[in-house]
């Protein structure tokens, strides 16, 4: 079974090794024709390229030149095919597209301003992101789980696979230009660390933290959260209100829906 070290060695011997091999053969062939046949360097280089690309060759009269041509054809054509095939494989199988995608992703992060940073793309984070999408509010998601990051990308969300509690990550997603941060990671401890890191970097940043327990609520506030939301408590209150005052709940939901529609509807002046 191949080892990780062996895999790294094979990758290191990929495109760079192939190009170096082809350049070495071209240089060696040019010098060889120059010494054996006495041709000028440019003429020798031209003959080498013609040989490698299997074009018609001018006659080589000396026996040494003919032997050298045979060796050059055997080695040069194989090296050229190997190099071109490997480079084409790198491009087709994702090398170039991945680089372009990473550059596009980096430019999108650099252009973000007045946006929200959503830490976590679980049940709560995905709902917050969906609401921001509906309201056309710029945001970026920071999530450590690769599968959730892929799910966010499939949902059309700008996402970064990283730890939201790290200051270098927050700087990467533009915390200096952000409008606010939503800490909705899976555990209370992670949310506390994310809020604390963001507050240290941006003392004036508006931060909302998600808490599962009353103890976490107090810790998030001490860490610097402006607002702390407990989904469990809000859900329980909502259920109780729906059971006791269903008409009031229906009215609030209707008013909220109308406000959302009116906010998203374009206005015309004239």
* One pLDDT digit (tens) per residue for the chain, 270 residues: 444 454 444 444 556 676 777 788 888 888 887 888 788 888 788 777 777 766 666 666 677 776 777 777 667 777 777 777 777 766 666 555 666 677 787 888 888 899 999 999 998 999 999 999 999 999 999 999 999 999 998 998 999 999 988 999 999 999 999 999 999 998 889 999 999 999 999 999 999 999 888 888 899 999 999 999 887 666 666 777 777 777 766 766 666 666 555 555 544 444
Show me where the domains of the chain are located: 4-92, 114-229
Helices of type H across 53-94 = 63-92
Q: Write down the pLDDT at residue 30.
A: 83
Residues contacting 15, CB < 8 A, separation 6+: 86, 87, 90
- The DSSP secondary structure of 215-261, one letter per residue, reads HHHHHHHHHT-SEEE-HHHHHHHHHHHHHH-HHHHHHHHHHHHHHHH
CATH code for the part of the protein at 4-92: 1.10.287.70
Q: Write down the pLDDT at residue 252.
A: 65
Question: Is the four-CA dihedral 183, 186, 191, 197 of positive or negative sign?
Answer: negative
Q: Write down the pLDDT at residue 4.
A: 47
Q: Write down the pLDDT at residue 195.
A: 94
Give, rounded to a whole angstrom, the gap between the first and last alpha carbons of the chain.
73
Report the C-alpha gap between 269 and 125 in whole angstroms. Answer: 36
Q: How many secondary structure helices (H) and strands (E) does the chain include?
A: 12, 6
Q: Write down the pLDDT at residue 7.
A: 45
Q: Which CATH class is domain 114-229?
A: alpha beta
- Taking phi over 0 as left and psi of -120 to 50 as alpha, with beta for the rest, 59 belongs to beta
Q: Write down the pLDDT at residue 267.
A: 46
Backbone φ and ψ for 14, nearest 5 degrees, come out as -80, -115
pTM greater than 0.95 (yes/no): no
Q: Write down the pLDDT at residue 133.
A: 92
């Amino acid at each position: 079974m191949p080892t990780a070290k062996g895999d790294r060695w094979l990758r290191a011997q990929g495109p760079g090794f192939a190009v170096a091999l082809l350049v070495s053969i071209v240089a060696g062939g040019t010098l060889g024709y120059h010494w054996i046949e006495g041709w000028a360097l440019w003429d020798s280089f031209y003959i080498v390229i013609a040989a490698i690309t299997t074009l018609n060759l001018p006659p080589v009269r000396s026996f040494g030149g003919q032997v050298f041509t045979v060796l050059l054809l055997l080695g040069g054509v194989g090296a050229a095919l190997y190099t071109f095939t490997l480079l084409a494989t790198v491009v087709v199988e994702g090398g170039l597209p991945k680089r372009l995608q990473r550059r596009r992703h980096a430019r999108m992060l650099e252009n973000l301003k007045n946006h929200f940073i959503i830490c976590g793309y679980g049940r709560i984070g995905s709902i917050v992101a969906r609401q921001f999408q509906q309201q056309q509010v710029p945001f970026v998601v920071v999530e450590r789980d690769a599968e959730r990051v892929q799910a966010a990308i499939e949902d059309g969300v700008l996402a970064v696979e990283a730890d939201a509690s790290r200051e270098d990550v927050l700087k990467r997603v533009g915390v200096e230009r952000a409008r606010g941060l939503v800490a909705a990671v899976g555990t209370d401890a992670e949310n506390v660390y994310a809020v604390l890191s963001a507050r240290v970097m941006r003392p004036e940043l508006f931060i909302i933290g998600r808490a599962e327990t009353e103890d976490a609520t107090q810790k998030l506030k001490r860490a610097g959260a402006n607002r702390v939301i407990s989904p469990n408590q809000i859900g329980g209150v909502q259920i109780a209100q729906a059971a006791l005052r269903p008409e009031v709940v229906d009215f609030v939901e209707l008013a909220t829906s109308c406000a959302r529609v009116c906010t998203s509807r374009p206005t015309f002046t004239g």
